[in-house]
A and B are shown apart, each in its own frame.
Chain A
Amino acid sequence: MAAAFTLLSDGEVASLDAVIDGERVLVDAGDLARATGWVLKPEGLCRDALCVPLRDPSIATADRSRLDLAGFAAALQRPVAIDVEEPAAFLGVAAAERGEQLRGMQAPDFTLPDLDGRKHSLSEQRGKKVLLLAYASW
């Protein structure tokens, strides 16, 4: 059954052509490449200069036109939350990547809006000591 499948990743929302087979979500390889930057090549999954070999070749269909979304995420060691009924998925950040970044003890940059919608980045404050306070209305 073909479906328009919503993929949330890296702060973006993309609509991918997908065939849903039970719990398996087979997304169009081209749509996935446009959404994530990862292209399926003979060497494996490649983005810019980096290629990750596909240890499990069944992640791709025989004609290599589609990729199993869960298998794609696993190949990149990224977490993915999938809901086949909606259908939608959220592709998260790998624990290894977060861990490496955090262990480096350099404060990750971010850009967020204030109440007026004006954007501010942490990096604008370089040269000052910053007390970063996370809080909430809850």
Chain B
Amino acid sequence: MHAELSPYGFTVISVALDRSADDARPWIERAAPTHPSLIDTTWAVADLYDIVNVPTVVWIDESGRVVRPNDVFYATDTYRAMTGIDSAAALERVRAWVRDGVVGLDATDAAELRTVPSAEHQLARAEFGLARWLASRGRSEAAERHFLRAGELAPHDFTIRRGSMPMRGIDPRGPAFIEMVVDWMGAGNTYYKPLPK
């Protein structure tokens, strides 16, 4: 996609929410991207853009304006059944934007769909930040208290609830993750929230 569309004045910037470059490395090397592929060990972009799960895409125009806020995006159909997202349709939408300037949302829609964090969510992010630092210093028990508190304060933020798992010695694809998602969805929540348009 990047290679096809970059002649039209387009770039992808990919940001890995990972505790180290080593965690992100296999993904980046496999993709061998020609676009900036960055490592975000303090979840700075998650905080700035109120991102609560991955993969999330944000469309930013030439003037730095967010024209399409946080959306789910898959380049393959691996998760089509779970997310209802057709990757071919998603790619076609990106092409229409880059080649023809078609966003599919007007500015009012985009502003209405823009989420903002609550005070509780910001506290969750602070608890998560403290937990990450404690974990990096080997203070595992103290870190765990704050990881759990962060998850309680922002139960919809899977960049925290799942993103913390590697830092806590928990397999992010294992039984603890599955149980978390089953509980979440069983309570009537959605795990992925694609934009309605």
Contact = CB atoms under 8 A, between A and B. Distances in A.
B15 A92 contact: no
Interface in A58-93: 77-81, 83, 85-86, 88-93
B134 A86 contact: yes
Given A85-B142, A91-B126, A131 B10 contact: yes
B86 interface: no
Q: For chain B, which range describes its interface: under 10, 10 to 19, 20 to 34, or 35 or more residues? A: 35 or more
A133 B64 contact: no
B58 A132 contact: yes
Contacts of A125: 11, 13, 36
Contacts, number: 217
A22 interface: no
Interface of B: 8-18, 21, 23-29, 36-40, 42, 44-51, 54-66, 73, 94, 97-98, 107, 110-111, 114-119, 121-123, 125-127, 129-131, 133-134, 139, 142, 145-146, 149, 159, 162-163, 165-166, 172-173
Interface of A: 6, 8, 11, 13, 77-81, 83, 85-86, 88-95, 98-99, 101-103, 105-108, 110, 112-115, 120, 122-123, 125-138
